[in-house]
Amino acid sequence: MSKIMADERRLLKSVVIAAWIILTVFLAFILGLSAPWEKLMGHSFFASMATTHGIFATLGVIIGSATGYLGWRLLLGHLKAYRDLRILATISSVLAFLAITTGNWIYIAYRGPEGPREFFINNFPEIHEIFFEFKEFIALFTLPIAVAATFILWKYKDSLQHDQSLRNAVGMMIAVGWSVLMIAFVLGATITKLMAVS
């Protein structure tokens, strides 16, 4: 009796997942083909790159925050989902790399003639000299920290749950990584609100 119920539950779960995938693909197809992407992404290469950078940065904050939460649980010694943490940390590292490389491209427009840098230096010099300068460097901190934490999570995947000092080390690195990620994101979003690249 219980075997039949378990089979039914598995079947229902498969049906729900299949329906969700079919609906998502269908909607993505319709929305993807009919959306005026050029309006959303901007009219220039740099504007499109800025949108892409913003998407990677936002995804980085979402995934990075989930990683940060699991990292905090790891630090406290309450974590059970080691596999989830490894996967999220890996995605965070990839997103840090993508956000930095796209950020490099939009920095060209930022420094270009009539770009935000010129505007800020002429009108609000502190925005460039203090906040942007800080943001452009602190954002780079995320990559080595995320990659090192990810490396340790994979390298010591079997021994992590038995080794308190390793858990402390990775938990601390994830906490530092999340902090610099949030500083970079908040400053980036705020500065973009004042003047975006075009």
Residue of 98, 103, 71 lying closest to 86 (CA atoms)? 71
- Residue placing its CB nearer to other proteins in the complex, 12 or 50: 50
**For other proteins, the closer CB: 119 or 141:** 141
From the CB of residue 3, how many other CB atoms can be counted at a distance below 10 Å? 7
CB of 174 to other proteins, least distance (A): 12
189 binds other proteins (CB under 8 A): no
Task: Report whether 115 contacts 107 (CB < 8 A).
Answer: no
Q: Which of 14, 24, 168, 190 binds other proteins (CB under 8 A)?
A: 168
Of the two residues 7 and 129, which places its CB atom closer to other proteins in the complex? 129
Among 4, 32, 158, 193, which residue sits at the site for other proteins (rule: CB under 8 A)? 158
Helices (H) and strands (E) in the chain, counts: 8, 0
- DSSP letter at 42 equals -
Judged by CB under 8 A, does residue 187 bind other proteins? Answer: no
Annotate each residue in 103-132 with x if it binds other proteins (CB under 8 A) or - if it does not, as one string. Answer: -xx-xx--xx----------------xx--
Would you say 56 and 99 are in contact if contact means Cβ atoms under 8 Å apart? yes
CB of 43 to other proteins, least distance (A): 19
Q: Of residues 47, 59, 94, 172, which one binds other proteins by CB under 8 A? A: 172
Q: 3-state DSSP call for residue 74?
A: helix
Per rule CB under 8 A, count of chain residues that contact other proteins: 35
Minimum Å distance from CB 98 to other proteins?
A: 15
For residue 188, give both structure tokens: 């980036």
Looking only at residues 49 through 108 of this chain, which bind other proteins when binding is defined by CB under 8 A?
A: 104-105, 107-108
Q: What sign has the CA pseudo-torsion 22, 26, 29, 35?
A: negative
Per DSSP, helices labelled H in 44-155 are 45-76, 82-111, 116-123, 125-126, 133-155
Q: Which residue has the tokens 């059970």?
A: 80
182 touches other proteins (CB under 8 A): no
CB atoms within 10 A of CB 32: 9
Footprint of other proteins on this chain (CB under 8 A)? 104-105, 107-108, 111-112, 129-130, 133-134, 136-138, 140-141, 144-145, 147-148, 151-152, 155-156, 158-159, 162-163, 165-166, 168-170, 172-173, 176
